Structures are given as structure tokens and as C-alpha cells.
Chain A
Amino acid sequence: MHKRSLSRIRLGIPLARTSFLVLMTLVLSGLPSTGEVGAVSTGEENAPFILPFAGPPGPDTWLLGQPYGNTTFAYRYRSSTYWAGQGLHFGLDLAAPCGTPVLAIGDGIVHSVDSWHGAKPHNLMINHSNGYASFYGHLLVRSHLKPGQEVKAGDVIGLSGDPDLTCASRPHLHLEIRDAPNHTRAFNPLPLIDADWERIALIGGHPITFEHDIDHPRRWQELLDQPNIRFGSTLVNDYENPWPPEW
């Protein structure tokens, strides 16, 4: 039996360089300067958007990956990858094979293509008239759309890709819903997209887990009940008593 000293494995690879760039660009864009999102009509339409994929979920098509919010995974990377989003996963990950057509979730105007918002290798932002913006990250190739171009819900805006550029390791679409036009806040996409999310979440052998603050163990433990995010603001989940514990 071989024995080794107990120490963390550190390979020295820079942590989430992309996330840092995202954060810096967000900060430089002056996010919390105005802060308010008066144009966002939260609650008026229960679910104004549609799913970004055309077909039903399945092992060949698409599956729910990491949901938005206070996930256990985001908690582990709260000070690095998810620092810009106050320690929360500021989007919705939908696992899908590379090349899966991605649909606009609502009518709108293309705001930017391959902007500084990160989510490599390619991304797209659409501003919607209801005060929201939708952001599509990890697209396989640069979108054929141009800024200022009008899109309708269900239009193909690009192809799903893989942040690792392998189309094997973790191909998925990273979908965010932000405020428009500032793009300084993020909202839980699940209540805003017309889909049966609890049914879609019934995948695999384990529950979807959110990090507990033991002092407030009921808080942010539901798919549909997660906090809004103000990019660049302080961490909201830097718990003194977390569960599961630090790793």
C-alpha cells in the first residue's frame, strides 16, 4: 500500500482565465453604475420565452446540465469561475451535442456577436422588447447574424458548441437572461422559459444539489427560486457554515 502526504493537488494551471476577462469587461462596462432594471417586466409574463432547442430532451438531443443559481458546483468555484456572478451560476447550462441548432428564445434585436461577454468560443446577445436580453454562449462557430438584425422566437441563431473545443468533454449551451439594454444583471432563466423544468430535471441517479448555508438551510434550494445577480457585486454565498463543506 503506497502512502503519500496529504496535500492538495496543484497543477498550476491558471484558473478560469476566461472568467476573469469576463469579469473585467463587465466591471469596465460600468455595470452597477445605474443598477436598476426598470424596463424589466418581471412577473408580468410568467414565461415569456421558449426553449432554445427544437426537439424534446434526451440522451441524443439535449439535457439539463447545471441550473442557474446557488449550485454546489458554483459554490466550489465561487471565488474564481463564478466570482463575476456573485458566486452563483449566472446562466443555465443545457448539454447538447456540438452542432445542435440553437433557437432565439424570443423576438428581439441582435445586440452583439462574439462580444466581450465570454463563454468561448462564440457568443451572441439579443435584446428583447420586454426588458430582457438573452445571451447564448459556447456556440460552435460565429453566428451568421449581425448586430441590429431582427430575429423571431424560434429562429436559428447559431450552433451549440463546447468551451473546451473538443465537442466531447462538455458540449453545452450556456444561456443567460439579463436586463436590457445594460446587461448588468442576470435572472434565473427557468421561470422565464415556458417548459416543465421539474420534469426535465428528472435525469440521472442523484438530485440536483444546491449549496446549503447551514444557518439558513431552506434558502435557494429550489430550481425556480434562485436570487437575481448583479455582475461584479460581492459574493452572496461565501458561507461561514456551508454544507457540503469546502472541498
Chain B
Amino acid sequence: MSCPRRIVGYVVFVGMFLCVMLVHLGGVAYASPSRSMDPRSFLLYPTPPVPTRTPIRTPTPTAVGEPTPYRLTEGGCCPYPSWSPDSSWVPFLDRPGAYEPAGLYAVTASGGEVTLIVERAGNFSRDWSRVTYTDSGRTFVERWADGERWEIPNEGREVCFSPSGQLIEWEVMSRGIEFPDLRQQAIWIANYNGSDAHEVVTIMGGNFVGWVNGEGEILVTGRLAPYGPSGIWRILLEDGAGQLLLEMDRVRSPRLSPDGDWLAFTVAFDTQQERNGLWVMRTDGSFSQKLDLFGAYRWRREGELLVIPLDLEQPGPTLWQVDAFTGESWRLIDPQHTSWQIASNDWQPSPDGEKIVFRSAEDQNLWILELPSP
């Protein structure tokens, strides 16, 4: 599982209560919460929320059978959207007007009214049962259901939940080191309530990537010793022992699959040019390969990587799906029929793998694209 902060899944927290508001500002509608409008409803009810408004479809004509994105928001608002666990809600950080609260707003993936759900910036655990945020330079973890919260002894740093939400991770970075290969990060782990906080490992010239093997291990890049090998490491939380999975200098933009079994990453400008490109590997170290495609990537499901190739010759962006094991790829979107542009590489597949949300470069709004099967 990738850390939410890596994905920049910004969320905001309002404590125990959903905001009851009914205002209209800049074309964005705010509604009273109801069962169908409560983003927590998926925790209580198995059925997804009922859409309250017909999605705004793009007017651009497309070929028959070509997936067409539809717009979720108006007015331009919503960098770094994420998803609710059941793929029914898209939350994002916003403040729609000077007289509106800043916080996490959400809209159903089928379109509808935008609802303020929480009034802080923070990150949810994967199941949305807990949320973490900072307040006056202090970090808290709060149980969303009843508002009970715990202060984390990390001097106000952002934390990352483990897949179950039982553990949290944060980094203590070195200061004053300009040379990136010498920068150090101490990785700290604690229980979600801040107890048993301890440093697991210090890495040099690398980063925390995410959790693997459930709660038992983490994945990091860089070096564990000043003159030791650089690459991708599995770190055992129990004793900080590291296993080098792949020796590779300066792994870029590593992205874990939803269950942590796969990693995608980029290598560029290596003197061994055959290494340069987009790679996938099993996080147990048993398999890795460089793909034929290169560009932006996200995991659709375990072993299924979505890639938007970096190809400026095409009239529009295209989307491919790659089988990480076989390397076989399928084009999901025909660039001849894509008139939309993604802003700042800001797009996220839904947890069910059925669609992506992206921020449009044209209007800075959120759009949904339902993904076809290969």
C-alpha cells in the first residue's frame, strides 16, 4: 500500500459531526448530509450513495465505444483528489469561498453535490476509520466514529498509516545537507495511538516507500550504510534488519501496488542506458523487469499497472494497462479521441479499479474516466 501522503490524498477532518450546510458558492453546491450524502455511509451501509445530480458530461464528441470522462466539480477547485475505500466518494482539500471553511470536501463518484465532510487537512487510514492531522504544530490520530484522539510524539510531523491502520510511520529528516545522496531519514514506527514509538532504521539518499507483508515490513530506497549498496530494501520492523531486493542507484518515484506485492519505479540517466525506463518488481524480490512503456503510472489492481506514455507526438494522452508479470500491454484509450489533459500528473485509480479521477488541465476540475477492460 502506498502511503496516502505520497499520493497526496488530502483530507480534512471535522471531528464527530458532518457539517450541515446548504449554500451555493461559485457554482459549487453544498448540501445537508443525509444517508446517501454521508461519506461514512459505506461503513454502515453496503450500497453506494445515490447520485443526486446528473454528471456533467464533456461535450467533446468521441468515437463509439470510447470511454468519455465526465466532470465532477465546477469552478476549479481540487488538487490531489483521493478515494473512499468503497470507491464511491472523491475527497479533496478545498475552501470554496472566503466565508466557507477550509477542509475536506467530497463528491460522489457519480456526480452530485459537493459536501464538506471534515474541517481539517489530514490523511485517512485505508478503511477511513481513523484520520491523522496536525494542530498547532502537534500531530493527532483520531477515531472518526467517536472523535477520540491521541497525540503522536513526533513534533508535528505527518504520519502514514499501515494498511490495517494499527501502526503509523513518520520520517525525521536530516537538515542542512544539500547533497541528496547524503541526506538521512530516520524511519519511526508507533502504534496508532502513539505508543511504542521507536526508530526502525536510518536511510541515506532514499525514502520510505510503504508497507509490505501486512504490518511486518516496510519498503525503502537508498542506502543503509554510508558506503553500502544503494537500491530497494525490505526492512523488518522487528529489528530493523534490511534485505536488499534490487541494487539500483537513485530509484525515482516508487509506487506500491494496493496490497504491497508490486512496486513500479523509474530509472533515468543511468550510465547503463539499458536500465533507464519504467520498472516493475515483486516486493519479495523474486521478479523484476523493465517495461516497454515509459511515462506516468498508477496501479489499477495487483499486478495491473496503468501507464500514460510520455509521447508528445500523440494528439492527446493515452492510457495503457500492463500485466506486470508478462509485460503484455493493452491500450485502453485511443489518443485520437482524447481531448482532455491531466493537470500536474494528478490522477488516481479507484480502489475497485473501475475508474480514475483526474484534475483537468483545462478547467482544474475533477473528472472521472471509467476504465474499460483490456
- State whether the Cβ of A81 lies closer than 8 Å to any Cβ in chain B: yes
Query: Known pairs A8-B155, A9-B184, A198-B341. 13 more at Cβ < 8 A?
Result: A2-B199, A4-B199, A6-B172, A7-B172, A11-B184, A13-B178, A201-B344, A202-B345, A204-B297, A208-B345, A217-B93, A243-B121, A245-B139
- Take A10-B174, A212-B121, A247-B157 as given contacts and tell me if A205 and B264 are in contact as well, using a CB distance cutoff of 8 Å: yes
Nearest CB to that of A240 among chain B residues?
B136
For B359, the closest partner residue in chain A by CB is A207
What are 30 inter-chain pairs, A to B, with CB distance below 8 A? Answer: A1-B240, A2-B199, A2-B239, A3-B199, A6-B172, A6-B197, A9-B184, A10-B174, A11-B184, A13-B178, A57-B310, A57-B312, A59-B267, A164-B179, A168-B250, A169-B180, A199-B310, A199-B312, A200-B310, A203-B266, A206-B255, A208-B346, A210-B79, A215-B95, A215-B102, A218-B76, A221-B344, A243-B121, A244-B158, A247-B173
Total interface residues on B, CB under 8 Å, equals 81
Q: What are the 8 tightest A-B residue pairs by CB atom distance, in nearest-first order?
A: A205-B255, A204-B253, A59-B276, A243-B121, A207-B346, A202-B296, A59-B268, A3-B198
Among A11, A95, A199, A208, the residue within 8 A (CB) of B341 is A199
Q: Is B165 an interface residue (CB 8 A)?
A: no
Q: Is B238 an interface residue (CB 8 A)?
A: yes
**When A59-B267, A59-B294, A243-B10 are in contact, do A9 and B172 touch as well, CB less than 8 Å?**
yes
- Binding site secondary structure of chain A: loop
* Residue of B whose beta carbon sits closest to that of A213: B102
In this complex, the member of A12, A81, A198, A205 whose beta carbon has the largest number of chain B beta carbons within 10 angstroms is: A205
* Contact of A103 with B by CB under 8 A: no
The residues in A between 182 and 233 inclusive whose CB is less than 8 angstroms from any CB of B are 196, 198-210, 212, 214-218, 221-223
A216: contacting residue among B95, B134, B240, B347, CB under 8 A: B95
CB within 8 Å of A: which B1-50 residues: 5-8, 10
A57 / chain B contacts, CB cutoff of 8 Å: 310, 312
CA of A217 to CA of B134, assembled, Å: 16
**Cβ-defined contact, B344 with A222, below 8 A:** yes
Contacts of B180 in A (CB 8 A): 164, 169-170
- Residues facing B in A86-122 (CB within 8 A) are 95-97
Q: Is B269 an interface residue (CB 8 A)?
A: yes
Residue of A nearest to B277 (CB): A59
Residue contact A205 to B176, C-beta cutoff 8 Å: no
* Closest beta carbon of chain B to A34's beta carbon, Å: 32
Measured as residues with beta carbon below 8 angstroms from the partner, the interface class of chain A is: 35 or more
Instruction: Known A198-B342, A201-B345; judge A60-B269 contact (CB<8 A).
Output: yes
